[in-house]
A and B are shown apart, each in its own frame.
Chain A
Amino acid sequence: MGLNESILELIRLSATDLSIDVEQAIKQAYQTEEKNTPAYNVFSTIFDNIKMAREQSTPICQDTGSLVFYVDYPQGDSQKKYRQAIECAAKEATGFQYLRPNAVNPITSKNSGNNIGINAPYIHFHEWDDDMVRIRLMLKGGGSENVGAQYKLPHPALKAGRDLAGVRKVIIDAVTNAQGLGCAPGIIGVGIGGGRDTSFTLSKEQFFRKIGERSSVKELAKLEQDLLVDLNKLEIGPMGFGGKTTVLEVFIGSQDRHPATFFVSVSYTCWAFRRKTMTINNGEVKYD
């Protein structure tokens, strides 16, 4: 299989085959809801849909999102090669209806029709010491992207200071404001520190962690665990219908900040949490 075909398969899997860790988290949430409530019925529909999409090889959700790639490549390799292969695969995937055309020029409002445009797909490149290549893909839905939020601490209205207690408060505020609009139950990615741009970037990178994988930083791991409990007390529930599960997971990352700034960026993804990893090691391609 050539690089183009391998990436096409990465896109197909991302759009149609929900990762097992996410499916299991949804299953657990399903079991906690009372039978015949709107929340229970939502989970039942979600479950059937996951199965149908996998069997039919059709998109789990019609919003197949913005394509965000993360490419880690060995020294001496060519970025251009990967960019060309990604663009070619994205076009083909649109033709096969694995993807909806989602690249719209903001000036003309014209949809390019093939998911190719300015910074679309967006590719993060990183040269690493490893010999293998790793290509990660996130399909980031628009509805959930719209409920993301960035806070600047201190935040007087929430009495949130420049510490982890302040961080906790703004995350609770963001999830409350999101209600069901990001297709709850969601997964929350948080970036603490950095500039406005790198803060959001860090929040999104958290989404490549597996459900249940706690931060290696002790303080953040505790905050993640506490927030998972607190956020589900909001009882916004699936689709915002009310229910026991509002979020499936909280991932928090941190990076150094400028002495004068303290940003907290909260990214939200819907339950249709679509991200996959592909590795190429000595010509052997694997997907996770």
Chain B
Amino acid sequence: MIKIKTPVSEKEIRSLQVGDTVLLSGVIVTARDAAHKLMVEEKPDFIREFLNESMIYHCGPVVKQDNSGLWKFVSAGPTTSAREEPYQAEVIKEYNVRGVIGKGGMGPLTAQGLKDQGAVYLHAVGGAGTLIANTVKEVINVFKLEEFGTPEAFWVIRIEELPLVVTMDSHGGSLHKKILEKSRNVANRLIAN
């Protein structure tokens, strides 16, 4: 297990390899479809300080607000990252992001973006909503809640020891590509029978 805390340097990120298991702590930001579209089209500044040398988490959480107005994460596993493929490389460059957390991996545009920027793709366990919400120790801020709704808002959160696996590194390695090729070969043999 490799422990990483945001903000994180390019050097530290470049040392990670596909297959590494990471426990991530620090401040990160959730962002999904509407947020990515906004970051590419309007490049808002309100999120800049939180993303600099930090990470984006593809997640649409279940949240609750207590009587004093404080937010709490109830369930917060990753969502499918592939939908952000058209935006991701541009976003990590624009906001100096060091990592993207999600599930299912991403395509060639992002792979190139990770290489150029010095960033990694970290895979969370899909469906582990409650366990991951338990690693969220504090909701620091939320942006665009009214406009985008709960799942799509930018949630700025402080996490402690979120378990992740590096599935795309900053050197072009991708576990997703490897598994796809291997399984497709097996499938072709099975289908030919």
Chain B residues near A234 (CB-CB < 8 A): 183, 186-187, 190
Kindly supply a per-residue 1/0 record for chain B positions 36-47, scoring 1 wherever the CB is within 8 Å of any chain A CB and 0 otherwise.
000000000000
- Surface stretch bound by B, among A46-54, A198-206, A208-216: A46-54
Q: Give the CA-CA distance A111 to B146 in the complex, in Å.
A: 10
Q: Which stretch from B71-79, B93-101, B110-118 is at the chain A interface?
A: B71-79
The A143-201 residues at the B interface (CB cut-off 8 A) are 143, 146, 158-160, 169, 172-173, 176, 179-181, 183
Asked if A97 lies at the interface with its beta carbon under 8 angstroms from chain B, I say: yes
Q: Across the interface, do B183 and A239 meet the contact criterion of CB distance under 8 Å?
A: no
A-B contact count (CB 8 A): 168
Asked if A235 contacts B129 (CB within 8 A), the reply is no
Residues of B within 8 A of A97 (CB): 62-64, 74-75
Q: How far is the CB of B178 from chain A (nearest CB, A)?
A: 8
| A181 to chain B: closest residue by CB | B104
| B134 interfacial contact with A, CB 8 Å | yes
Q: Which of A45, A58, A113 contacts B74 (CB 8 A)?
A: A58
Contact with B125, one of A111, A158, A239 (Cβ below 8 angstroms): A239
Most buried by A among B77, B123, B182: B77
Asked whether B9 is an interface residue with its Cβ less than 8 Å from the other chain, the reply is: no
Q: How many residues of B contact A (CB 8 A)?
A: 50
Q: Is A41 an interface residue (CB 8 A)?
A: yes
* Cβ-closest 6 pairs across A and B: A111-B149, A183-B126, A49-B131, A59-B75, A62-B75, A272-B127
**Can you add 18 more A-B contacts, CB < 8 Å, to A46-B128, A143-B79, A172-B190?**
A46-B125, A52-B134, A61-B129, A62-B75, A63-B60, A100-B62, A113-B149, A143-B80, A143-B126, A173-B187, A176-B183, A179-B180, A180-B176, A181-B80, A235-B179, A240-B176, A240-B179, A241-B179
